[in-house]
């Protein structure tokens, strides 16, 4: 009996008139790419709607899933049907942001079960909450740095700044321009090593939230060069109050 693979759709691109090429981040095998033939045909078993960005799916891969070459899928099913993510404008903007962030940073084929579980659980949390989620992009992006290997050191003391290049708090401002000042460093310390619920209840106005998101993304770009060309956060900043 075939075993089902768990996956998160990262990206789908139309190929020809009826097919798709999809990138899926799987729990068991890491990043995978597949050809979905006939996804736009009326009789398709694997319809294009199944492969919307960040859909959580189960499927069986035809062939050996450990092979690096592009494979084919069968028996694709939605593992979860979202209640609010695709339908609430602010949440849809967050989904766009998360999708691009994952596509930019998850470029290696190796599996990372803890990262996969974090992404899935975060999406399910966001789908269920009705309010107090505007800080979600700040929390999510910081936690991504943990799984990617450059999470900020939690050595904050009152009056510190945060040196983005070194990834730690400091009592002295660095000579380069990549740092959080003392006010932003204090806020950053509140976002570190906390739960998603607590992070999203930190009171922030829209201007401060946008400023922090820009800073956190700058920190990520310094340590993850694949972040070049990142654009969706501009849309996100325009809709999140």
Same domain, 118 and 222: yes
Least confident of 149-158, 167-176, 185-194, 218-227: 218-227
Q: Would residue 27 count as lying in a domain?
A: yes
Q: Would residue 182 count as lying in a domain?
A: no
Same domain, 141 and 235: yes
Query: pLDDT band for position 1 (50/70/90)?
Result: very low
User: Strands 161-163 and 56-62: what pairing?
Assistant: unpaired
Residue range 7-21: average pLDDT? 89
Query: pLDDT band for position 147 (50/70/90)?
Result: very high
Hey, is 56 helix, strand or coil?
strand
pLDDT at 66: 64
Same domain, 122 and 215: yes
- From 78, 109, 129, give the residue that closes a domain: 78
53, 94 Cβ separation under 8 angstroms: no
Q: Would residue 158 count as lying in a domain?
A: no
Residue range 200-228: average pLDDT? 89
| Other C-beta atoms lying within 10 Å of the C-beta of residue 212 | 22
What's the number of domains the chain is made of?
2
Percent of residues, the chain, with pLDDT higher than 90: 69
Same domain, 15 and 57: yes
- From 46, 78, 110, give the residue that closes a domain: 78
Average pLDDT across the chain, whole number: 89
**Domain assignment of residue 140, given as a range:** 89-151+192-239
Write out the two tokens for 148: 């990617």
> What is the tens place of the pLDDT at every residue in 72-116?
788 899 999 999 999 999 999 999 999 999 998 888 788 999 999
pLDDT at 16: 81
Same domain, 72 and 142: no
- From 51, 78, 105, give the residue that closes a domain: 78
195-202 contact pairs (CB < 8 A, 24+):
196/122, 196/125, 196/136, 196/139, 199/135, 199/138, 199/139, 200/129, 200/132, 200/133, 200/134, 200/135, 200/136, 200/139, 201/132, 201/135, 202/135
Q: Would residue 142 count as lying in a domain?
A: yes
Same domain, 73 and 94: no
pTM of this structure: 0.91
Residue range 166-187: average pLDDT? 97
Write the CATH number for 46: 2.40.50.140
Same domain, 57 and 110: no
Same domain, 113 and 26: no
Burial (0-12, 13-18, 19+ Cβ within 10 Å), 54: buried
Same domain, 12 and 95: no
Percent of residues, the chain, with pLDDT higher than 70: 91
Q: Would residue 176 count as lying in a domain?
A: no
Same domain, 98 and 55: no
Q: How far apart are CA 175 and CA 43, in angstroms?
A: 62
Same domain, 139 and 201: yes
Same domain, 58 and 117: no
């Amino acid at each position: 009996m075939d075993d089902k693979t768990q996956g998160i759709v990262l990206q789908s691109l139309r190929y020809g008139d009826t097919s798709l090429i999809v990138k899926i981040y799987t729990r068991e095998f890491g990043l995978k790419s597949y050809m979905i033939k006939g996804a736009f045909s009326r009789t398709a078993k694997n319809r294009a709607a199944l492969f919307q960005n960040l859909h959580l799916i189960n499927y069986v891969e035809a062939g050996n899933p450990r092979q690096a070459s592009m494979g084919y899928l069968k028996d694709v099913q939605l593992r979860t049907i979202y209640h609010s993510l695709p339908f609430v404008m602010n949440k849809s903007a967050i989904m766009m942001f998360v999708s691009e962030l994952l596509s930019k940073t998850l470029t290696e084929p190796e599996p990372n079960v803890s990262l996969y579980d974090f992404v899935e659980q975060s999406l399910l949390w966001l789908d269920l909450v009705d309010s107090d989620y505007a800080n979600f992009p700040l929390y999510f992006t910081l936690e991504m740095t943990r799984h990617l290997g450059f999470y900020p050191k939690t050595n904050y003391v009152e009056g510190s700044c945060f040196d983005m290049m070194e990834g730690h708090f400091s009592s002295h401002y660095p000579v380069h321009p990549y740092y959080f000042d003392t006010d932003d460093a204090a806020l950053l310390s509140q976002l570190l090593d906390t739960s998603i619920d607590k992070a999203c209840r930190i009171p922030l106005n829209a201007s401060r939230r946008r400023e922090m998101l820009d800073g956190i993304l700058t920190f990520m770009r310094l340590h993850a060069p694949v972040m070049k060309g990142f654009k969706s956060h501009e849309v996100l900043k325009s809709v999140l109050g």
